[in-house]
Amino acid sequence: NQPVLNVDSLKTYFYLDQDQVAKAVDDISFSIYPGETVALVGESGSGKSITALSIMQLINKPGRIINGTILMNDTELLKLSAKKMTKIRGNDIAMIFQEPMTALNPVYTIGNQITEMLRKHKNLSKSEARIKAVELLKTVGIPRAEEVIDEYPHQLSGGMRQRIMIAMAISCDPTLLIADEPTTALDVTIQAQILDLMAEMKEKFQMALLLITHDLGVVSEYADRVMVMYGGQIVEQAPTKKLLRDTKHPYTKGLLDSLPNLDEEVDRLGAIKGAVPPAHDFPSGCRFSTRCPFVMDKCTQSNPELQELEKDHFVRCHLYDNGGDTLD
């Protein structure tokens, strides 16, 4: 089983003033297999978005990918020319962002934007593209598609705009869809609809999905596999059920404890004390050591390696240096 995407030893650093280096993504490796939904989870500032933008090669100065390989099927993306990479974006990998308004152009109608994309990638005539665009809008559940196609982004609700983004993403049959916090800006009731739509489109168009979220609730519902990121590194990775049932890393545990629990009205804020350290100023040793309730001496001395504790279950934590057991 060949992965759709293989990221190996990726490092994306930002060269700030005063010789400071922000290690936003610091040596991460993972694969995504055909049809899989993989969640990338962590608080904001943990490196999730930079990972996605690195795959898309949308990293701007002072940021730079300084190490690693990114294989899409058999193509090494980091070796492609800018022109070839532009073709990959949209055709093979599509991305949906948190705020669709930033990705949609306010001065063009919805129809203009979708047909432009279809014409560019699919070589359709103007009238063919318009027919296809209406069809796509219907596919993603837009009512009155024949009218909406001539409307402007600001005339639509946030949920509708995100549906448009999904329509644009699937318009070129990508093999991989990357969704970065696709529902964070939406009302709670709309969030589930959009996630359900993405799951449905994933099946229908046989895509793999990299779902970036800070919400483990979303993960439990939609992801096959989870990677938890902290301080620019993967700290735990496992199939979803395993990760939720047999949580190993103190950070993952903290994220789970901060989930709203329907049964009890507990004070869930501050389940993880303190803040994510800035990427130019990680603590020495384990990057979670400044917030970890289990911190030991050796945690501040060396950063643990990511080790495979059980089949498919990877953890980066000194608690498991000698095998170790589950946290509780």
- What is the per-residue binding string for ligand SF4 in 241-280, x denoting contact by CB under 6 A? ---------x------------------------------
Determine if 319 is a binding residue for ligand SF4 (CB under 6 A).
yes
Applying CB under 5 A, the site for Mg ion has a residue count of 1
Q: Which is nearer to ligand SF4, 80 or 295 (CB)?
A: 295
Please give, one letter per residue, the 3-state secondary structure of 172-233.
CCCCEEEEECCCCCCCHHHHHHHHHHHHHHHHHCCCEEEEEECCHHHHHHHCCEEEEEECCE
Site residues for Mg ion, 32-51, by CB under 5 A, read 49
Q: Residue 317 CB, nearest distance to ligand SF4 (Å)?
A: 3
Q: Which does 286 bind (CB under 5 to 8 A by kind): ligand SF4, Mg ion, none?
A: ligand SF4
List 208's β-bridge partners, or say none: 176
- What is the per-residue binding string for ligand SF4 in 289-308, x denoting contact by CB under 6 A? x--x-xxx--x----x----
Q: Which is nearer to ligand SF4, 117 or 315 (CB)?
A: 315
Q: Which is nearer to Mg ion, 52 or 319 (CB)?
A: 52
Task: Give the pairing of strands 313-315 and 233-239.
Answer: antiparallel
Q: Which is nearer to Mg ion, 2 or 44 (CB)?
A: 44
The whole-angstrom separation of Cα 149 and Cα 162 is: 14
Residue type, position 45, single letter: G
Among 34-42, 56-64, 135-143, 287-295, the segment contacting ligand SF4 (CB under 6 A): 287-295
Q: Residue 105 CB, nearest distance to ligand SF4 (Å)?
A: 44
Handedness of CA 39, 52, 180, 197 (dihedral sign): negative
Q: Which does 174 bind (CB under 5 to 8 A by kind): Mg ion, ligand SF4, none?
A: none
Q: What is the DSSP code (8-state) at residue 47?
A: S
Residue type, position 220, single letter: S
Among 26-34, 189-197, 253-261, 284-292, the segment contacting ligand SF4 (CB under 6 A): 284-292
Q: Residue 295 CB, nearest distance to ligand SF4 (Å)?
A: 4
E strands in the chain = 5-15, 21-32, 37-41, 63-72, 75-76, 93-96, 176-180, 208-213, 225-230, 233-239, 307-310, 313-315
Q: Which does 190 bind (CB under 5 to 8 A by kind): Mg ion, ligand SF4, none?
A: none
- The encoded tokens of residue 48 equal 């999730």
Binding ligand SF4 by CB under 6 A: which of 48, 161, 248, 318?
Answer: 318
Grouping H, G, I as helix, E, B as strand and the rest as coil, residue 281 is coil
Do residues 292 and 286 make contact, with C-beta atoms less than 8 angstroms apart?
Answer: yes
Residues forming the site for ligand SF4 (CB under 6 A): 250, 286, 288-289, 292, 294-296, 299, 304, 317-319
Residues forming the site for Mg ion (CB under 5 A): 49
